[in-house]
Amino acid sequence: MNKKWLTVVFGSALFLAACGGGGEKSTSGGTTEQTEGEKIVMQNCATCHGGNLQGMSSAPALNNVGSRLSQDEILDIILNGTGNKGMPAGLIQGEQAEKAAEWLATQK
């Protein structure tokens, strides 16, 4: 009886260890926890820019915005919008806007 019990316990432990979760998948590949900037972007920007930030008819792709714009340029757009191009000003403000711009600048 003891051998059966030990087999069940060790088998369960091995199974649970093999199924252990990694962090959330980041858009840049690999498994990592989401950064605060990424969370802010996903909560505030994905509605218009797409769930994977791939862009939609109403908004351009952000999944590679860091290859086109600097962090300061991204922050300027977040804070001031783009005028008649559809991006409203001030959807994210203050420190959250800075963290969002910092994370977006890494998307290349």
Domains contained in the chain, CATH given: 32-108 (1.10.760.10)
pLDDT value at position 58?
A: 83
d(CA 18, CA 20): 6
Q: Which mean pLDDT values do the consecutive 10-residue runs of the chain (108 residues) have?
A: 61 54 46 84 95 92 96 97 86 96 96
pTM above 0.85, yes or no: no
pLDDT value at position 74?
A: 97
Q: Count CB neighbours of 25 within 10 A.
A: 11
pLDDT value at position 31?
A: 46
DSSP state of 26: P
Residue type present at position 37: G
